Each structure stands twice: as structure tokens, then as C-alpha cells.
Amino acid sequence: MSDKQRQTACGCDERTPPEPSHTNRPGQPRVTYRLGTHGTLLRRMIARLSSQEIPAGEHEGERPLAALTTRATSDPTLAMLDAAATLGDVLTFYQERIANEGYLRTATERQSVLHLARAIGYELKPGVAASTYLAFILDDSAGAQSEVRIPAGTQVQSIPVARGELPQTFETSGELTARRAWNALKPRKTRPYNLTKGTRTLYVAGVDTRLQPGDFFLLVGERRRSFGGSERWDVRRVLTVTPVEGENGGYTIITWEPGLGSEKPPMDPAENPKLYAFRQRARRFGYNAPDWRTMPEDVKKEYASDPNNLPSQWPDFEIKASNKAILELDASYPKIVAGSWVALLIPGYVEIYQVKKAETVGVANFTLTGQVTRLELDSTEHLSWFERRETLVLAQSEELTLAEAPIDDPVTGKQIEVIGTVTDLAADQPIVVSGKLNEDDDTPTGTVVFVEQTKPGAGFTTIVLKDQGLGSKKYIRSTTSILANVVAATHGETTTEVLGSGDGSRPHQRFKLKKSPLTYVSAKTASGAASTLTVRVNDVAWEQEASLYGKEPSDHTYIVRIDDDSIATVTFGDGKQGARLPTGQENVTATYRFGIGSAGEVGAGSLTLLKTRPLGVRGVTNPTSASGAEDPETLDNARTNAPQTVLTLDRIVSLRDFEDFANAFAGVGKAQAVAIRDGEQLLIHITIADASGDPVEESSELFINLRDAIDDARDPAVTVMLASYKLLTFRLKATIQYESQYLESKVQAALETVLREQYAFEKRDFGEPVTAAELMESMHSVAGVVAVDLDELAYVKAPESGAVTLRRPFAGLGGLGGIRPQRAGSGVTALLPARTARREGKKLMPAQLLLLDEEGIDLTLTPVKG
């Protein structure tokens, strides 16, 4: 039949428009399932008016409506078709929506995803509560209790700091016996100074020592006091004096040359020495006597014992070795007392003596007279060596208190020495190290660590920390405190309520909790969360299960289902699968906590309000921010996480299993597993971030629970390392040409929105680089943008140079790939790499996450005519 023959009397083409294709390619965000719209359905029905044939019977082949030539919409027949098309439009619309809700990828309703997930035994994650650590401060006033028991469940409320923020309640996770002495332990700031051979510095207590450069001092120990022949002492001359103000009156640093002890003869400094400063310099009596050779003969004869045999020097001018240990000084020095020390110096030699007796006497000799101090010394050793004119006498010794050496090293690593005896700290007890990491920090930073053991010392205690301790963190010692009255706490407030009355005649009784959302806390389970709900029937606790399927009729179990409004419903058995509730009056009760999600991630120092203050407690705070929270699972996350539970089945075998298990764990926002060669074996390194996009502290409950849950599900022969990611940020500078008919402010805002969405935490992977090409493509996608000139692409803080691993560096468990930063021909960096987990020397480094800096967008917009 020709095309002309197909024309009916109405002038219409009798050919029916083709029906729409229903072929759907894989990976599409929606299923095309609709048979037609109002327009296509109406056209199809109108086209069939003239061609519709009677299929069988007496009038087979006839076209009863061929004579209906009108196509006016006012015609009743056309109106009826229009109504049918409208009905078809509505039905096909919902038919397509229902079809899309039947697939995990295309479903848009949370309820649809929830039911699809339940088909594989997966419940949408209800979220998880934030956790932190609370440090309690006890009253330290006179008469206050030295110990206070703080029960589990003690409630502390946060103080809102931002507009619209609500107070959040946290509860302690366990009981704490707090001690007043543990309010704020201080790191040891000094240690005994060991004076060894060659030492050239010591520390003196106080800043008013009256020492000056050039003064002499003595370091002498007990051995010299008891044995005059001992050489374990040192006399030195002060080179520098540096007073240092500080706690307990400060201290003074003195230096000298040469160092203590001697090489020839070999001699060590004194043990446990005392320090004496010589406050007086003197001379021997007669040091200024006239030269004997210039004396007249009659004077010489007067002093000589034999006038006929005159000596060559003043008689008794030198001390004879056999004489008593008597020393006469050149003047009277009443402050020189018995028991003090004197030192005699001649060029190249020094000797010390202890004064046994000191008296003032009158002497006349060598043509000199006067009142002088006569000293009786404890020894005559080498006394004859000290010639009267050359000898310098150092006397009037004053004892100075030796100070301990200051410890200027930062507080870091696995061990902390604290002042005092702290022996009651139990293994695994959390403590908080709080202080400044940099001098210009406005507020202290807190780090939670765990005690491995304590080692008592002389006036101090060494606290050995578990795992890596403080790791690479270095606290300024003078600003650091150790808070030991610390206990874990989680977001959520406990309530108890009567759910209702049991009825033994009713299967599957259901009760809704009055308060929402039900709190789930981080736990060492495959899901990463545990419910805080306890249901009691006739005061007996029943067990919560994931499903009633397969339960015995006598099993006291129940299940919990949470709807889109976060209302939790408790469902009991039917007597076949799980026991029915026994009949009773208000015999079903529930104790649970309510509060969950990111609202609980309060900042450090905000949890300070005790709802009920235990006697003896002065205050409380959270030295670290609350973290590890996750809001109820979104559709996008459920689409990804639900299949992952089927992949792992709560066990970990392959490399991908490690990653899937961590990604499905409550509170984890992103995870990546990488195999790293460690000698002859492969080590599995897992890098994680929390659901808020923040790094995960090793002391957090999320980190600990994930690590333990992985250990429970994996092969123990495999070495696994868990670490938080390293954040890198980049900045860009670009010149944008846009069509002049667009508002510059709108284009600017759209560009910034696109860039921040494209390079936000949710859109980026660990080890994913940033390229100039993808940046320009993103900016070109904004309506009105004509051209993009990228002027700068750089890290805000450059990482270490070297080869960088791009994305996943292996297929299966082997294969490595690397790439170096590249530059475009214009000189602008074309590629900013980020690295996955890798080994750098002897260290294992976590994966990097490269994100756009908060202030990293610098755009210059220029209008052009379209």
C-alpha cells in the first residue's frame, strides 16, 4: 500500500507511532520503564481510530471507526481518548517510579532502600553516637575527700557555642574512682645533674647567688671530708653566670673551663658533691715583705739566728714540710670559720684544706706587724709547695644549693616522667596529655593515651604508654599537664519507660519507643555499633536479635526496626518464631538512651555542666573533641554499604574484604586497604577517615573498636596496620571569561559551589590526584563560562618530594605504579599527586587525601560579549 493510500478521509496518516524502546544500559541512575506520556498515548490512540479492525466474526476486517474523520478536541470521542491518555499518563508515571524503587541503584525513597536491604538481611545503619573522654577535677581544698567514686552513667551536658546549637548530653561509659592527686599531674621538669669528667656546666638553686664571672668555687664530696688525701674534688673559676627566673625561685647556670676531673693524672669528679663559693680572696702574711736582699746588714743580723751566718731569705719565710698545718693570712678575716674550706693556688697547682680552727692574732715579722687570721688546717699535704709571695688564698666558703638540671625536651614518645609517686594507675587506664604543641597556640591540645605500666623512681614516676604513646606529637613541657581522672563517655541520655502490657493471645506485639533517636554506640562488632536498648518483661531482660527467623518458640527475643522518622519499634515473637509476650499489666519496660549523630560532635572544653554533681567533684571537662559520630545512613551510603555486607559476610579474607569491612563499619566515612611489601611478606595497611571527614585518633573508641573487630574477623597470620589519613590541601588561581549577560556574582558563586562540591571529602578518594584538566572541565560546566585560564595550581603546604603512588597501586595484591608531579607547558602545575599508603624508609605512611583548601579559590572574572 502506497503512502497516499494510507491517508484516510480525515487526511490523517493511519500508521501507528512506534512504541518507546525500553532498553536500559547498565549503570544508569534511573530505569526507563514508562510506556508513554499523555501526548504519546493520545497520538497513538488517535492514529488507531481509522485503522482499528474487527479481529474475528461476521465483520472480520472491517474498520468501524474509519468514518470518524473529525479530530476536533471538542468531539466526545476525542475527549474520551484524552481522558484515557490522562489516566495512562498517571499510571505509567507511577509504574516507572515503582520500577525504579525496586532496584538499589535507582531507588529514591529511603523506605524502598530499607526493604531492599532487608532482603539480604541488612538494616540501614541507625547511626552511631559521638564519643569522647571526660576529665574530672576533684575538690582540693583542706578536708576534701582524697578519693571520689563517679558511677557509670554520670551525665554531663555541653554548653552551646554557636547560634542554633543545642546542649548535648553525654554519659560516662564506666565507673571511675577519681583521686585528688590525679587532678593534674605535672611532667618532671628537672632531673639530678650527673657531674662527670669534662662537665663544664652546673645549675645552682635561686637567681641571687652573688656569683660573678671570675669567682672561684669548689665541688667536693664526702670522701674528701673523711680522707684528707682524696683528690676527688675540683676548684674552678666561673666563666659565665646566667640567672633563669622560674618556678620555686628559679635557678642559675654557671659555666667554666676546663671541664671537671683530670686526664693526667686520671681523676673523676667527686661523687654527690657539695658546691661552695669562695667569697674572700687573701694572701699569706708576709707576701708583701721587703726583699731580703735589700735589707741592711743590721736588720738581717737582727732576724738571723746566727749573725755570723746570714741566710739568703727571711727566716721562716717558707713553710717546712714537717711544720704544723698553720697558715697566717695577710689580714683579719672574721668571717672565715672552722669547718669551712680554703684553697691555695699557685701557678699550675691548687690544693684544698678544711679549716679546723680560725683565730685572730697579732703578728710581727718580716718588718711587718698587724692583726691577722691564723688558720689551723686539716692537713699539711703539699702545704710547703705554696710560696708566700705567689700563693692566692681562697677562703670564706659559702655553700650553695645545687639545683637539678632543667628538662627542656618536649613531652613525647612512649614514656612520661611525672612528679611524685603515682603507682595506682592501672593498665589500660586512659589519661589525657594536655598542653601546647607550639608557642603561638592559643589553647592547649589534648591527646588521650593509655597506660601500659608505671615505674616508681626517686621522687618521680615513669608512666609507660601503650602502642605508640604520643607518637610524633611534641608537647612544650612547661605547658603540659597529665589528667588522670579520665573516663570514656558517649553521646545520649538514659531514660526508662513502660512500653505497655503483654498479651499472650496476640502474636508479634509491637511497641514504639517514646523518645528518639535511639542511641547506638561504637562497638567491636561487624556493624560497628551496639544498641543501648534493654527491654525487660516481668523484670527479666530479653535478648535483642537481628531477626526472629529460626528462633525457638521459647526464645525470649525481640527485634528493633527504625522507620524514616527515626522512631524505633520493638517487635516480639508469635509463639512459633520467638516467644509471645506473657499477659501482664504494664509488664514490658525499656531502658535506653536517646541522641545520636553528628550533633554530638561537640568541641573540646564544651562538656562542663554536671547534671548531678557527685560529692567532692569540683568540675569536669572534655580535653578532646567528641568524634566518631555518624548520622542515620543516607540513601547513597546504603546503596554502597548494603552489598558490602554480603561481600564480606562478617569475615575478612581478601584485600578487598579489609576495605569493604572498614567502609561498612559504623562511624567510618572512608577507608582504603593497600598491600605493602614488608620484607618477605605483605602487610595490609588500612587508611580511614571518620564519617565527618575528620582524622581518627588512635585513642578514640571508633579506632579501637574497628581495630578489634578486624582482628576478630581476619586471619591472625596476616599483619594489619590501621591508621588515619593525612590531609593535604591545594589552592588554585584562575581567570574566567563569562558572557556579559550573566551576573558576575551569580557566576562567581556557581563556580565556587561547583569547585567545593567536586573537591569535597565525599567526592574524593585516598590517593586521588588533582589535575588541571579536571579543574578546568568543572569550571567550564558552569553556565555562562566562556573560557578558563588556570594561572596557579599548588599545594597549600607541599608534601615531601619524590615519586608518588597514584590511586590503587596494585591489581590483586601485587604491582606498583608511580608518577611524579607534572607541569603544563605554560608552567602551571598540571598534576598535584596524592599518595596511597606506602613505606618511606622504615616508616609506614598513611594515604593522603587531597582536598580544596577553605580559602583556596582565587578567581578573576572578566565579562565578554556573547
Q: How far is CA 173 from CA 69, 170, 219, in A?
A: 82, 9, 57
Residues 6+ apart with CB under 8 A from 200: 255, 256, 257, 258, 259, 260
CB neighbourhood size of 665 (10 A): 27
pLDDT at 12: 54
pLDDT at 60: 82
Give tens-digit pLDDT for 276-290. 999 999 998 888 888
Q: State the architecture of 493-594 in CATH terms.
A: Sandwich (2.60)
Domain spans of the chain?
Answer: 1-101, 191-400, 408-480, 493-594, 650-724, 726-864
Res 805: pLDDT? 34
Exposure string over 599-617, b if 16+ CB within 10 A, otherwise e: bbbbebbbbeebeeebebb
Beta-strand runs (E) in 466-587:
481-483, 486-491, 493-500, 510-512, 520-522, 529-531, 534-537, 540-541, 543-544, 557-562, 568-572
Cα–Cα distance between 187 and 436 in angstroms, integer?
A: 13
Q: What angle do CA 197, 457, 226 make, to 5 degrees?
A: 45
Cross-strand pairs, 735: 789, 860
Q: Are 411 and 480 in contact (CB under 8 A)?
A: yes
Contacts of 762 (CB under 8 A, 6+ apart): 693
Burial of 866 (0-12, 13-18, 19+ CB in 10 A): exposed
Going by their DSSP bridges, the two strands 368-377 and 349-365 should be labelled as: antiparallel
The third-level CATH classification (topology) of the domain covering 408-480 is Elongation Factor Tu (Ef-tu); domain 3 (2.40.30)
Give the pLDDT score at 808: 31
Rounded to an integer, what distance in angstroms lies between the CA atom of residue 327 and that of residue 392? 12
- Dist CA 335 CA 341 (whole Å): 12
Q: What is the CATH number of domain 650-724?
A: 3.30.70
Report the first-to-last Cα separation within the chain, whole angstroms.
52
Strands (DSSP E) found in 160-291: 169-172, 176-179, 190-191, 201-205, 216-220, 233-244, 251-256, 274-283
Which of 460, 400, 458 lies closest to 273, judged by CA?
400
Q: Which residues of 781-806 are buried (b: 16+ CB within 10 A; e: fewer)?
A: ebebbbebebeebebeeebeeeebbb
pLDDT at residue 438, rounded to an integer: 93
The pLDDT score that the predictor gives to residue 366 is 80
How many angstroms from the chain centroid is the CA of residue 355? 62
Residue 740: all three cell numbers together: 556579559
| Cell of residue 372, nine digits | 691577722
3-class DSSP state of 224: helix
**Cβ atoms of 526 and 713 closer than 8 Å:** yes
Phi, psi for 332 (deg, rounded to 5): -90, 130
Which amino acid is residue 445, in one-letter code?
T
Helix orientation angle between 635-648 and 110-118, rounded to the nearest 10 degrees: 10
Q: Tell me, what's the pLDDT at 816?
A: 33
C-beta separation of 233 from 267 below 8 A:
no
| DSSP state letter for 267 | B
Residue 595 near residue 491, CB atoms below 8 Å: yes
Q: 0.95 cut: is pTM over it?
A: no
β-pairing, 368-377 vs 326-328, is: antiparallel
- According to the model, what pLDDT value does residue 98 have? 92
**Contact by Cβ (8 Å): 387, 346:** yes
pLDDT at position 622, please? 96
Do 468 and 452 meet the contact criterion of CB atoms below 8 Å apart? no
Low-confidence stretches of the chain (pLDDT < 50) are 1-9, 801-821, 824-825
Give the C-alpha distances (Å, rounded to integers) separating 655 from 164, 267, 563, 634, 662: 44, 64, 34, 26, 11
Give the ranges where 759-863 is alpha helix by DSSP (H). 772-780
H/E stretch holding 671 reads: strand 668-678
Pure H helices in 28-181: 38-47, 76-101, 110-118
Sign of CA dihedral 138, 141, 147, 149: negative
554-560 own/partner pairs: CB under 8 Å, 24+ apart? 554/579, 555/579, 560/518, 560/531, 560/533
Residues sharing a CB contact under 8 Å with residue 383, sequence separation 6 or more, in sequence order: 319, 321, 323, 325, 327, 344, 351, 353, 377
Torsions phi, psi of 841, nearest 5?
65, -120
Closest CA to 231 of 381, 386, 426: 381
The set of residues, in sequence order, having a beta carbon less than 8 Å from that of 216 and lying 6+ positions away, is 235, 236, 237, 238, 277, 278, 343, 394
Q: How is residue 324 written as a grid cell?
A: 704544723
Q: Is 182 helix (H, G, I), strand (E, B) or coil?
A: helix
- Evaluated on CA atoms 330, 335, 337, 340, the torsion sign reads negative
b/e 389-412 (16+ beta carbons within 10 angstroms → b) = eebbbbbbbbebebbebbeeebbb
What's the one-letter identity of residue 749? Answer: A
Beta bridge partners of 668: 690
Element housing 788 (H / E)? strand 785-795
Query: How large is the greatest C-alpha to C-alpha distance in the chain, in angstroms?
Result: 184
Confidence (pLDDT) at 596: 95
**Long-range contacts formed by 95-100: CB under 8 A, 24+ apart:** 95/33, 95/34, 95/35, 96/31, 96/32, 96/33, 96/34, 99/31, 99/33, 100/30, 100/31, 100/33
Return phi, psi of residue 671, to 5°: -150, 150
pLDDT given at position 636? 77
* pLDDT computed for residue 418 by the predictor: 95
Q: What span, in angstroms and rounded, lies between the C-alpha atoms of 377 and 327?
A: 8
Helix, strand or coil, per DSSP, at residue 677: strand
Specify the DSSP element, H or E, that contains 657: helix 655-663
What pLDDT sits at residue 272?
A: 87
What's residue 19's pLDDT? 66
